[in-house]
Amino acid sequence: MKSTDNYDLFNPVPDYASNPLVQKGTQNDCAQTTIPGLIYLDNFIDSAKEQELIREINLQPWLTDIKRRVQHYGWRYDYKARGIDYSMFLGKLPLWAEEIAKKLVAYNLIKDEPDQVIVNEYLPGQGIAGHVDCAPCFGDTIVSLSLASNCTMDFINLKTKEKIENVLKQRSVAAISGEARYDWTHGIAARLADQIDGKRINRELRISLTFRKVML
């Protein structure tokens, strides 16, 4: 495990973690996007950690009650009711998820340590409709970690209908809070490829981890 994955007196958090709005970090790129409240960070984990997470996830059972395969940790989310209650508590996050949750806090990407994670598997051609994460259910910040493949996420302003595309590269995180959290929908178009840096990039199987703090 590299030093950026440990936080103690001997391996301190990089300086840019104290201000997530800086444009460049020592080893990572961290930027405030054109949408207020949306922060995007490349290379949040390295390829070895990415493969470790994929292995851990694939050892666990998948749920197939919606169009894509999912896993729930910490709390189960009711997609039909769009809600959470105390009966849906599943227990503490597994260690691999807790480690990422703590790193998100250390990097000031989220204030309160997440206690709920949803893992989504996206096959090429699959997407997710534009939505705003349940406001009464979760805290102010939602963080998404992308594994295994790149994609483009669409943000649409609820009032003006302005649409902004944001590339989510594998191993990156996107933190959504404030205006980006409540005034814009975010979704992923169902298609086989994306235009990234002027090139058509075919999608591969992608896994996303969504970290949230449950509010009850």
Domains of the chain plus CATH, in order, are 3-212 (2.60.120.590)
| Residue 3, pLDDT score | 33
Q: What is the pLDDT of residues 72-105, one digit of tens each?
A: 999 999 888 888 999 999 999 999 999 999 999 9
As a whole number, mean pLDDT of residues 126-137 equals: 95
Q: Does residue 186 surpass a pLDDT of 70?
A: yes
* Confidence band of 5 (pLDDT split at 50, 70, 90): very low
Residue with tokens 């534009």: 130
* Confidence band of 29 (pLDDT split at 50, 70, 90): low
* Confidence band of 27 (pLDDT split at 50, 70, 90): very low
* Cβ atoms 121, 205 nearer than 8 A: yes
pTM exceeds 0.95, yes or no: no
Q: What is the pLDDT of residues 47-81, one digit of tens each?
A: 999 999 999 999 999 999 888 999 999 999 988 88
Q: What distance in Å separates the CA atoms of residue 45 and residue 52, rounded to the nearest whole number?
A: 11
Pairing of strands 142-147, 206-212: antiparallel
The interaxial angle of helices 47-58 and 95-106, nearest 10 deg, is: 140
| Residue 32, pLDDT score | 57
